């Protein structure tokens, strides 16, 4: 029972007072930004990255992970009470959660969301513990060609799962890859795309790009729209769902958890995709399809379970392969690099305390979140009444201080402003920034592995198809691309994301 | 030819621009341009990076591949802008600035940045001045661009004035400029937010996280 001893080690690490505190800080912050519409986990984690310089690696990563899954809890509160997704992954929770609130069942809706999230969190923690070690073992045998193909698969999956046009998403990935190459080329020492600016010699800071593309651009777009927020002020009422409710939500939670856990592992997956998929499934299998959109409890339970499960299992590719599945995971890689940890399969064997401590902390964090979100729901509701005109200057102050402190140089803020403009233009032109961020972080890694693989094969590009694992990854990527370009599926996909764009 | 999908049209142009720029910088500009540049007495135009071979890839290899592919995909997106079947009203880009405004903004930053680099050996003053001028221009002539320009300007003002003015004043300035970019501007409320935030950031960042910021203007020390 190696797993048990490993988990025991993990809980030992996670239960140390300092790490418990970090976990609490993470989930409180996560809930906070989840509740507040217009502040996402990507921008928040980017903002906090510079601060983690001074923390120990385990504490830092535990805190940052807490922000991501904590945001899934907080997001549902806003969705149910205000009919606004506090978090993009709770878009679908709005549909039925808000209707439940209007029928005076806000309490049971909130409780359902919390119960579903907690159950999913527990199960997916076990999934991570079970699946990560064997995957890491396989990954240890990967050579450069396998890594290159895996990254191709990851990027393709990210574009397929991005909302909107496929070809634009691929273009954004390419743009990200190119931007990732700015700076000194490791092989030749040549300064690329630096325009004689000495600050660019080390490349563009990842935090700076993420904050500009997500943080700044989000604020600008929000400010262009008129603020129209209607807080559902009626009393939350009793929290406990009825017996009938429990009966209906249990299978939904189980399905949501299974779906979320599976989709979270996929490259490009995570909370957002999982919640959409779960809602579609619930609607299909429900015995009361007519109730959907009018306050069906399954429409809250399924997606809420799925988004939390997906958020947690998306740590699997990060921890085992060192490859980020979504933008938040890309930031986690950034955090690991700041701490001098090279992400990859060796993390598990070389730093078991970090690996298992993080997994154990996820379960502890979920427990904290139930307490934070049910008995203390009143506090979060109060927060919803803070107007955006006070919120956004606060966010800006944190962002600017965070970016400036990276190297105590105003140049970083200038670059952030540049990416703010780019992010704003991309938002207006319906180009999604998430695939770009993935490309940005993978750019140098991909080039490095491509070069090595080609050197080993003496310039034969067929090597990627001769090695079985590498060939599988590439075939999968091609199949994915072809399938998604089929006209029948294309309209389905656009339909599936239609709800996303309406927000 | 009528643009049916503005979003695709501009996105395609943007991708083509980035792609072609990457290829040009990696492979080097065409020979006639290099010669023309030199004949104008502007010195040597940097002539690309080494391409290498597939076995030993030079620094130009991967960016050229990526840039070429990006330019190609950008061209397809650009063409799609003319053949969209979606209702054109929903495909408006709705950018708050025009292409001319964009050029003016870029020229302002490039010009003032270059001038200040020549005059003061640092581009910082130029960047700050360009941000302030652009903010004033946006305020006077393009009220629609206020969210964009003022949110960017508040960061620049903060960053470039943090060292001379100290954290407290820079934070207060940031909040005021940012607030001007919003819909409602209530001086009293903004002042309270500014003061609270500056106290908070001093306590958390300077005392708590011991970041090496000066709290008050440099002249006070």
Say how many CA atoms lie within 13 Å of A203 toward its Cβ. 18
Give the DSSP H/E element, type plus range, for residue A152.
helix A144-161
Q: Do B197 and A394 touch (CB under 8 A)?
A: yes
Q: Which of A211-215, B144-148, B195-199 is the most confident on average?
A: B195-199
Q: What average pLDDT does the structure give for chain B?
A: 86
- Please, which residues bridge with residue A184 across strands? A191
B172-200 mean pLDDT? 89
A187 vs B: CB within 8 A: yes
Q: Is the pLDDT of residue B48 over 80?
A: no
Residue numbers in chain A where pLDDT is lower than 50: 498-503
Chain B closest-CA separation from residue A436 CA (Å) = 12
Tokens at residue A222, please? 């929000």
Give B138: exposed, middle or buried? Use CB within 10 Å, 0-12, 13-18, 19+: buried
Q: Do B183 and A227 touch (CB under 8 A)?
A: yes
For a pLDDT cut of 70, what percent of chain B falls above it?
Answer: 95
Question: What are B27's two structure tokens?
Answer: 């492979």
Nearest to B209 among A51, A227, A450 (CB): A51
Neighbours of A458 (CB within 10 A): 9
pLDDT score, position A135: 83
Among candidate residues A414, A389, A413, the one with its CA nearest the CA of residue B194 = A389
User: Which of A110-119, B6-15, B48-57 has the lowest average pLDDT?
Assistant: B48-57
A489 dihedral zone (left: phi>0; alpha: psi -120 to 50; beta): alpha
Tokens of A7: 């988990």
Nearest residue in A to B196, CA atom: A394
Note the pLDDT of residue A500: 42
Collect all residues with Cβ–Cβ distance below 8 Å to A150 and sequence separation of at least 6.
Answer: A142, A321, A323, A473
B119 touches chain A (CB under 8 A): no
Q: Half-sphere exposure (CA, 13 Å, Cβ side) for B80?
A: 18
Count Cα atoms within 13 angstroms, Cβ side, for B131: 25
The answer to whether B57 contacts chain A (CB < 8 Å) is: yes
Interface touch B25/A393, C-beta < 8 Å: no
pLDDT of residue A7: 85
Report ipTM for this prediction: 0.91
pLDDT tens, residue by residue, A221-280: 888 876 555 555 555 667 777 888 888 888 889 999 998 888 887 766 667 778 888 888
pLDDT of residue A308: 87
Tens of pLDDT along A165-205?
888 989 999 999 999 999 888 888 888 887 777 788 888 88
Mind giving me the DSSP string for A336-400? HHHTTPPPSTHHHHH-HHHHHHHHHHHHHHHHHHHHHHTTTHHHHHHHTTS-HHHHHHHHHHHHH
Chain A residues with CB inside 8 Å of B25's CB?
192-193
Distance CA A96, CA B193 (A): 36
Spatial separation of the C-alpha atoms in residues A408 and A388, rounded to whole Å: 29
A54 contact residues in B (CB cutoff 8 A): 209-210
Q: Chain A: give the shortest CA distance to residue B213, in Å.
A: 9
Interface touch A192/B70, C-beta < 8 Å: no
Q: Contact A382/A187 with Cβ under 8 angstroms?
A: no
What pLDDT sits at residue A422?
94
Instruction: Return the pLDDT at A283.
Output: 82
Question: Does B94 lie at the interface with A, CB-CB under 8 angstroms?
Answer: yes
Best residue in A184, A429, A431, A446 to probe B by mutation, most B CBs within 10 Å? A429
What residues in A contact B53, CB-CB < 8 Å? 459
Decide if A394 and B183 are in contact by the 8 Å CB cutoff.
no
Q: Which of A424-438, B9-23, B109-123, B206-220 has the lowest mean pLDDT?
A: B206-220
Q: Which chain A residue's Cα is nearest to B170? A: A397
Measured distance CA(A137)–CA(A55) in Å, rounded? 29
Q: Would the CB atoms of B25 and A193 count as touching at under 8 Å?
A: yes
Tokens 């080609």 label which residue? A454
Contacts of B156 in chain A (CB under 8 A): 410, 413-414, 417
Q: Are residues B155 and A461, on separate chains, in Cβ contact within 8 Å?
A: no
Q: Nearest residue on chain A to B105, judged by CA atoms?
A: A421
Only one residue has tokens 């439940």, namely A100
Find the CB nearest A220 among B56, B147, B194.
B147
Kindly identify which residue of chain B lies nearest to residue A226, measuring between CA atoms.
B183
Interface of B with A in 137-196 (CB under 8 A): 147-148, 151-152, 154-156, 158-160, 162-163, 171, 174-175, 178-179, 181-184, 189-190, 193-194
CB-based contact A222:A38 (threshold 8 Å): yes
Residues 437-496 of A with CB under 8 A from B: 446-447, 450-451, 454-455, 458-459, 461
Q: What are B33's two structure tokens?
A: 């341009």
Of A51, A185, A393, which is closest to B197 when you measure between CB atoms?
A393
Q: Which has the higher per-residue pLDDT, B125 or A228?
A: B125
Residue located via tokens 């290899």: B61
Instruction: Determine the Cα–Cα distance for residues A70 and A32; give it in Å rounded to an integer.
Output: 8
């Amino acid at each position: 029972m190696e797993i048990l001893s490993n988990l025991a080690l993990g809980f030992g690490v996670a239960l140390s007072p300092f790490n418990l505190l970090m976990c609490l800080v993470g989930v409180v912050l996560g809930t906070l930004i989840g509740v507040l519409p217009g502040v996402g986990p990507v921008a928040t984690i980017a903002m906090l990255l510079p601060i983690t310089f001074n923390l120990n690696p385990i504490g830092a990563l535990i805190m940052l992970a807490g922000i991501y899954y904590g945001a899934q809890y907080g997001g549902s509160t806003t969705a149910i009470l205000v009919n606004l997704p506090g978090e993009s992954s709770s878009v679908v929770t709005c549909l039925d959660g808000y209707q439940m609130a209007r029928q005076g069942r806000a309490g049971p809706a909130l409780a359902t969301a919390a119960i579903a999230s907690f159950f999913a969190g527990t199960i997916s923690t076990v999934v991570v513990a079970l699946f990560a070690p064997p995957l890491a073992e396989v990954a240890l045998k990967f050579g450069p060609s396998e890594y290159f193909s895996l990254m191709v698969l990851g990027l393709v999956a990210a574009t397929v799962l991005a909302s909107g046009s496929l070809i634009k998403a691929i273009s954004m990935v390419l743009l990200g890859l190119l931007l990732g190459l700015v700076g000194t080329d490791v092989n030749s020492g040549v300064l690329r795309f630096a325009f004689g600016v000495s600050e660019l010699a080390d490349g563009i800071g990842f935090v700076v790009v993420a904050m500009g593309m997500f943080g700044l651009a989000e604020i600008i777009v929000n400010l262009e729209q008129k603020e129209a927020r209607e807080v559902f002020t009626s009393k939350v009422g009793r929290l406990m769902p009825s017996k009938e409710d429990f009966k209906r939500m249990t299978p939904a939670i189980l399905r949501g958890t299974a779906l979320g856990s599976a989709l979270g592992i996929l490259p490009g997956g995570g909370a957002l995709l999982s919640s959409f998929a779960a809602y579609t499934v619930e609607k299909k299998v429900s015995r009361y399809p007519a109730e959907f959109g009018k306050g069906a409890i399954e429409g809250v339970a399924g997606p809420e379970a799925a988004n939390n499960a997906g958020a947690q299992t998306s740590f699997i590719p990060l921890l085992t392969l060192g490859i980020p599945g979504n933008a938040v995971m890309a930031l986690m890689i950034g955090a690991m690099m700041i701490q001098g940890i090279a992400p990859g399969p060796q993390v598990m064997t070389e730093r078991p305390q970090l690996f298992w401590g993080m997994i154990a902390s996820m379960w502890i964090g979920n427990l904290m979140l139930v307490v934070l979100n049910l008995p203390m729901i009143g506090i979060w509701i109060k927060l919803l009444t803070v107007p955006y005109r006070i919120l956004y200057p606060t966010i800006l102050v944190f962002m600017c201080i965070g970016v400036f402190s990276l190297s105590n140089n105003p140049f970083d803020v200038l670059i952030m402003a540049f990416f703010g403009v780019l992010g704003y233009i991309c938002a207006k032109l319906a180009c999604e920034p998430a695939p770009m961020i993935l490309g940005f972080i993978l750019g140098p890694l991909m080039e490095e592995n491509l070069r090595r693989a080609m050197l080993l094969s003496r310039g034969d590009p067929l090597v990627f198809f001769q090695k079985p694992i590498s060939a599988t990854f590439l075939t999968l990527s091609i199949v994915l691309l072809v399938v998604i370009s089929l006209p029948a599926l294309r309209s389905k996909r656009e339909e599936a994301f239609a709800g996303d764009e309406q927000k | 030819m009528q643009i049916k999908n503005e979003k695709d049209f501009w996105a395609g142009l943007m991708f083509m621009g980035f792609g072609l720029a990457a290829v040009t910088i990696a492979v080097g500009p065409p020979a006639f341009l290099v010669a023309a540049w030199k004949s104008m007495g502007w010195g040597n135009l940097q002539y690309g990076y080494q391409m290498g071979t597939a076995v030993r890839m030079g620094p130009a290899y991967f960016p050229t591949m990526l840039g070429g592919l990006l330019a190609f995909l950008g061209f397809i997106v650009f063409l799609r802008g003319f053949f969209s079947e979606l209702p054109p009203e929903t495909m408006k880009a709705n950018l708050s600035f025009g292409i001319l405004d964009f050029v003016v903004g870029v020229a302002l930053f490039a010009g003032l940045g270059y001038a200040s680099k020549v005059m003061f050996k640092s581009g910082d003053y130029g960047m700050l001045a360009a941000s302030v001028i652009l903010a004033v221009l946006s305020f006077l002539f393009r009220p629609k661009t206020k969210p964009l320009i003022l949110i960017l300007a508040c960061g620049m003002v903060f960053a470039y004035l943090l060292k001379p003015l100290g954290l407290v004043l820079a934070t207060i300035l940031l909040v005021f400029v940012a607030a001007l970019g919003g819909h409602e501007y209530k001086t009293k409320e903004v002042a309270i937010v500014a003061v609270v935030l500056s106290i908070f950031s001093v306590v958390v960042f300077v005392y708590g996280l011991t970041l090496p910021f000066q709290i008050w203007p440099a002249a006070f020390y």
